Amino acid sequence: MHLGKPVRSKKREVLFLVILHLALSLLFSGTIPLGEAPDEADHWAYIQYLAREHHLPQGPELTQSKHPPLYHATAALWGMLWMPELGHLDSRLFLRANPDVTFSPKLAATRAYALNSFIHTTFEAWPWRDGPLAFHWVRLWSVLLSTWTVWATYRLARHAFPHEEEIPFLAAAVVALLPEFLFIGSVLNNDTLAALLASLALVMAMREYQTPGDRGHLLLGLVLGLGVWAKVSTLAVWPAVGLWLCLGALKVRGKGKGLLRCGLPFLVAGLLAAPWFLRNWRLFGDPWGWALARQTVDVRTGPWTWQDTWWLVRGWFYSFWGKFGSAGHIPMARPVYVLLLVATGLAGVGLIRRLQVDERSRAPLLGSGLALVGVMGAIWRYSLVALGTDQGRLLFPALAPIALLLAVGWLTLIPPSRRHWASRGLAGGLLILSLYAWAGVIRPAYAPPPPASLQRISPGDGVAFGPLRLLAWDLDGWPTLYWTLDEPTDVDWRVAFRLVDGEGHLVAEWKRSPGAGRWSTDHWPPGYIMQDVYPPQRWAHLPPGRYRVEVGVYPFMGSWTLPEGHTSPFVPLGIWEQGTHGGD
């Protein structure tokens, strides 16, 4: 009579996980600067194109057009519900490329470079408006998709292990609190929809394995087909779906008819996905669209080696758990990955033990492993053509199976009487990890730099370019300028650092937001001092010699500003010598 209470309690706990993931995703989404996620600006361009043109692009101008459009089309529809003019918003007003971006945290520590790919002005600040408001609204679509994926993961684990309630809870917790999924699931990215549809297909296949019947084959085919329209890599989970369907069919009478029915979902999915492959064949000469893909990626030029395999697997591991930024270049602390490696290894030990002692677990676990291996194989095949595939988000079509494997592995090592609290403890650890990723890694990467000190520099009279004032400069070593504001400004001021040779010829020029674009000038309070460092490596091509340094200032997308007391927009600062101290 009381069996329903524990079930209801478990569902409430899972509902809490779903709500917690939603809340954390909103936190990530609202605070990650726009465009600072893998290919996010390119996904935005694809979404805008569909909202404006109402048809698919055909060339390499939109790099993400190599992907099927389901995520981008649904995101465009979602965005137009709030802002019908979505396709006509001027992205240049807020997606302002940062020429000083680096993908090396060590270089960023020199303050001559920055980790942000875009310069983020007060136009992005709360309360959001215009383009940034539309961007955040479309991000919400990703948040909803990722939240649904948490529930789908729970359902997969629930069907796979119906009598072990801690496994579904922990599997859902892995997805809900995985830092990388919180990151990717809170920004514009088609990996989120691919993860959801692949998870739903696996849920239906697992249900058919556990309780075979004739229900849901057409719906499963629809989900599989839509998965291809989200991302072609979802094809890699089809073997796992087929395995569970066939094993389920073998449990019942009329095995021959049952096995034939197993092909129905794939027939439906194939018919649904066929137009995409036929379009590629017509436009690019092959069903996969390799000709277009090669024009939109960094193409691998050398043969595959064991070193490449290590690079790929290592990158998958790091960025599956969490590496952030527009190129996955902002890592967590190294000891965190060591702990995660140990935890992953323990899960592997637990899985081996489970497969040895529990025959009923073999089909769910082998199917989950097949899904993971299938996705890894697909990405490896793509890696033979493209660089930059060492990203854990590319494994997300197998995210739910991975979470299931981790949950089973961990809990197998724990006595049954302690699994309830162990699963809650592991979930708590993942929560701490996700909060650390947000507060200790992502937020500091985009935080404004502390004000510079001029104690070691002798300030001159300074030069005023409107409200922006050059307080002092040091041309020894790495040329460094010091800027401040005399009064608040709503302008994104830019600086041009120029080198002129002895004959008066301009030989080098670097335009940037002061301070490598870490904090745009319209954020600065009056009196704040920004250190603006210029790495000599930018002029390593120049022959040794003495060069005159000039500086000019202009507003973003504007004209040169005449400095106070000068007749030229460029102010000479002194001499910088190449080859004596700055060329290395």
Out of 72-86, 235-249, 351-365, 444-458, pick the least confident: 444-458
Under 8 Å between Cβ of 428 and 420: no
Mark whether 515 and 398 lie in a shared domain. no
Q: Which residues of 123-159 are buried (b: 16+ CB within 10 A; e: fewer)?
A: bbeeebeebbebbbbbbbbbbebbbbbbbbbbbbbbb
Of 212, 207, 210, 211, give the one whose Cα is nearest residue 223.
207
User: In 3-state terms, what secondary structure has residue 253?
Assistant: coil
How far apart CA 216 and CA 415 sit, in angstroms, is 37
Residue with tokens 């072609």: 232
Q: Tell me the pairing of strands 463-465 and 468-474.
A: antiparallel
Residue 112 placed within a domain: no
Q: Which residues contact 52 (CB under 8 A, 6 or more apart)?
A: 86, 87, 88
Q: What is the mean pLDDT of residues 72-82?
A: 96
| pLDDT for 256 | 63
Residue with the larger pLDDT of the pair 252 and 539: 539
Q: What is the mean pLDDT of residues 169-189?
A: 99
Mark whether 437 and 493 lie in a shared domain. no
Looking at this protein, which amino acid is placed at residue 424?
A: R
**Does 361 score more than 70 pLDDT?**
yes
How far apart CA 194 and CA 232 sit, in angstroms, is 9
Mark whether 170 and 275 lie in a shared domain. yes
Residue 114 placed within a domain: no
Give the Å distances, CA to CA, from 471 to 251, 453, 464, 485: 80, 11, 8, 10
- CB atoms closer than 10 angstroms to residue 251: 12
| pLDDT for 158 | 97
Q: Residue 490: which CATH number?
A: 2.60.40.10
Rg (Cα) of the chain, in Å, rounded?
A: 27
**Does 576 score more than 90 pLDDT?**
yes
Record the tokens describing residue 192, joined without a space.
Answer: 């989120």
Question: What's the chain's length in residues?
Answer: 584
Of 422, 192, 190, 177, give the one whose Cα is nearest residue 322.
177
Mark whether 215 and 325 lie in a shared domain. yes
Q: What is the mean pLDDT of residues 419-424?
A: 96
Residue 96 placed within a domain: no
Residue 431 placed within a domain: yes
| pLDDT for 2 | 42
Q: What is the mean pLDDT of residues 350-378?
A: 97
Dump the DSSP string for 372-418.
HHHHHHHHHHHHTTBS----GGGGGGGHHHHHHHHHHHHHHTS-GGG
Residue 108 placed within a domain: no
How far apart CA 369 and CA 70 sit, in angstroms, is 27
Q: Which residues pair with 470 in a beta bridge?
A: 463, 483
Q: What is the mean pLDDT of residues 331-354?
A: 98
Which pLDDT band, with edges at 50, 70 and 90, does 254 fall under?
Answer: low
Overall domain count for the chain: 2
Which pLDDT band, with edges at 50, 70 and 90, does 267 fall under?
Answer: very high
Give the Å distances, CA to CA, from 402 to 240, 355, 370, 511: 13, 16, 10, 46
Under 8 Å between Cβ of 360 and 285: no
Under 8 Å between Cβ of 177 and 427: yes
Question: Left if phi > 0, otherwise alpha if psi is -120 to 50, otherwise beta: which for 462?
Answer: left
Mark whether 398 and 324 lie in a shared domain. yes
- Crossing angle between the packed helical segments 238-249 and 264-284, to the nearest 10 degrees: 160
Residue 299 placed within a domain: no
Residue 397 placed within a domain: yes
Q: Of 445, 473, 491, which one is at a domain's C-terminal end?
A: 445
| pLDDT for 8 | 66
For residue 162, cis peptide bond before it (omega within 30 degrees of 0): no
- CB atoms closer than 10 angstroms to residue 64: 23
Residue 388 placed within a domain: yes
Mark whether 412 and 495 lie in a shared domain. no
Mark whether 508 and 436 lie in a shared domain. no
Mark whether 467 and 439 lie in a shared domain. no
Record the tokens describing residue 126, joined without a space.
Answer: 């709360």
Mark whether 441 and 468 lie in a shared domain. no
Q: Of 399, 418, 445, which one is at a domain's C-terminal end?
A: 445
**Does 276 score more than 60 pLDDT?**
yes
Residue with tokens 């000599």: 536
- Looking at the chain, the whole-number percentage of residues with pLDDT higher than 70 is 95
| pLDDT for 477 | 86
Residue 494 phi, psi dihedral angles, 5° rounding: -125, 155
How far apart CA 198 and CA 374 sit, in angstroms, is 12
Mark whether 232 and 374 lie in a shared domain. yes
Which pLDDT band, with edges at 50, 70 and 90, does 257 fall under?
Answer: low
- Which residues constitute the domain of residue 567? 463-578
Give the Å distances, CA to CA, from 283 to 59, 63, 225, 287: 9, 16, 21, 9
Tell me the pLDDT tens digit for each residue of 476-493.
889 999 999 999 999 999
pLDDT, mean over the chain: 94
Which pLDDT band, with edges at 50, 70 and 90, does 549 fall under?
Answer: very high
| pLDDT for 6 | 58
Under 8 Å between Cβ of 521 and 489: yes
**Does 456 score more than 60 pLDDT?**
no
Mark whether 476 and 331 lie in a shared domain. no
Mark whether 408 and 264 lie in a shared domain. yes
End-to-end CA distance of the chain: 78
Q: Of 415, 445, 475, which one is at a domain's C-terminal end?
A: 445
**Does 299 score more than 90 pLDDT?**
yes
